[in-house]
Structure 1
Amino acid sequence: MGSKNKLKRFRENETFQNVIQPLRDEVLSGNFSLKGEWATFFGNTNPIVIELGCGKGEYTIGLASLYPDKNFIGIDIKGARLWRGAKTALENKQSNVAFLRSQISLIDQLFASGEVSEIWITFPDPQIKYKRTKHRLTNRDFLKKYREILKENGTVHLKTDSEFMHGYTLGLLQGLGLEILYANHDVYKNEGSPMEVLGIQTFYENQYLEKGKPITYLKFRITSV
């Protein structure tokens, strides 16, 4: 994408009512006004579901269409990417969708304790090298942050084409004694996966499927870390 197109999308994001772009210093200082106030933003007390690393927002949009009685927030640091999701949500008049431009590592500063009902992690970078372990979105430090913002029985969903990420996360969850609600290492080959796993496919997921890569899925609860 050319720099002119990126700049145009950045400017449009500033005008979109469903895009929130807090300054990093604002978040770190504890002055992010929507922390604990997301129900006010949406104008209702429906459950809040977030997607981490939402990219162009395809999954956020798809989930919001399936579940109009829930509020969905796609989170990504790449503003030019989430522009697409935000624009689509506005065109579709989806009032239960928002996009938050921020680093995922700040997640516990963006939401209050118990404010989130579900977390979706879709096709994250598996960060295979050992020295990149701290950047894996299902490592123990991230699980602690998720535990903080999730409601008591809140759930986490991991959908990925990376067998490494699937196995790493499954092993970590088992080692910590956490509750694994569902695990499938090839959702389109093995029956039983829920509708939201099979019924929503992103652009990149379709590319993975064309290459014959299995798509994996985990659903779990974080009772303690």
Structure 2
Amino acid sequence: MRLRNIPGAEEALREYPVFVADPAAFRGRWRDYFANNNPLHLEIGCGKGRFITSLAEQHPEINFIALEVKAEVLYRTAQRVGMRPVSNLALVQANAAQLTDLFAENELERIYLNFSDPWPKRRHRKRRLTYATFLQMYKQILKPYGEIHFKTDNEGLFEFSLNQFSEQGFQLRHITFDLHRSEFAAHNVMTEYEERFASRGQRIYRTEAINLP
């Protein structure tokens, strides 16, 4: 996600009710933050927020957290939500490498990875959000049989990720190499990037990885 610098974005974020200034304080007790025991879903890299805000509107019975490392990007999501409080949505500025500082063991039911940076050079593969070290973190914070929903437009990243999921003990299901022409298209919620790719006729790759105990 490339956006020009927005001066004061970090300070501006604090004005929005959905922004969580100290997310580590809720590690292990996010249900206290949301004041209910509903399932907890996390999107890593929320972009401008179309995906996660759409899900929050469609599923009030689920609590959603949008995590984004760049304040300028997260600010766009906050603007989309506006100043109204949303009871089942929280925005967090943090790096994915900090996940175990933000979430306790078995705290999440689902993680969304949408159009993550493919880091195409082999020497950079450890930065990919589906690299083994990240998957090991996800296994810690996901409940048994918790899910990772993964979408990308990059075939190389998709094939790499399928192998990484399998090697780390995840069970794969609903694999498609052309999401928008598959049986899974009807219930698909698109991101901003995805809509752009789909309009060009680009293939979207998707799978679900289950955290086997």
TM-score (structure 1 length as normaliser) = 0.86
Counterpart code for 1:95: S
Pair 44,85 (structure 1): closer, same or farther in 2 beyond 3 Å: same
Partner of 1:136: 128
* Matched residue SS, 1:50: strand
With over 3 angstroms needed to count, the CA separation of the structure-2 counterparts of 1:223 and 1:194, relative to structure 1, is: farther
Q: 1:64 aligns with which of 56, 60, 69?
A: 56
Alignment match, 2:192: 203
Q: Which residue is equivalent to 2:94?
A: 102
1:222 matches 2:211 = yes
Q: Select the residue among 189, 201, 211 that pairs with 1:212.
A: 201
Which moved further from structure 2: 89-98 or 75-84? Answer: 89-98
Per-residue CA shift, 1:118-158, capped at 9, x if unaligned? 00000001111111111010111111100000111210000
Provide the C-alpha distance between the structure 1 equivalents of 2:31 and 2:171, rounded to a whole number of angstroms. Answer: 28
Deviations 1:47-73 (A, max 9, x none): 110000111111111111221100000
Q: How does 1:79-158 map to 2 (within 5 A)?
A: 79-90=71-82, 93-158=85-150
Q: For residue 217 of structure 1, what is the amino acid of its counterpart?
A: R
Name 1:7's counterpart in structure 2: 7
- For residues 150 and 178 of structure 1, what CA distance do their matches in structure 2 show? 12
State the 4+ residue runs in structure 1 displaced beyond 6 angstroms: none
TM-score by length of 2: 0.91
Equivalent in the alignment of 1:75: 67
Give distance in 1, aligned partners of 2:211 and 2:38: 21
- What value does the CA root-mean-square deviation take over the aligned residues? 1.9
Distance 1:49 1:217 in 2: 18
Aligned length: 211
Following the alignment from structure 2 to structure 1, what is the Cα–Cα distance between the partners of residues 10 and 201? 36
Partner-residue secondary structure (3-state), 1:15: coil
Q: Structure 1 residues 95 and 87, CA, compared in 2 at 3 Å: closer, same or farther? A: farther
Q: Percent identity?
A: 28
User: What is the alpha-carbon distance in structure 1 between the residues aligned to residue 84 and residue 204 of structure 2?
Assistant: 28
Letter of the 2:116 counterpart: P
Tell me, yes or no, if structure 1 residue 48 matches structure 2 residue 48.
no
Question: Which of 170, 177, 182 is the equivalent residue of 1:190?
Answer: 182
Whether contact under 8 Å (1:184, 1:193) holds in the other structure is no
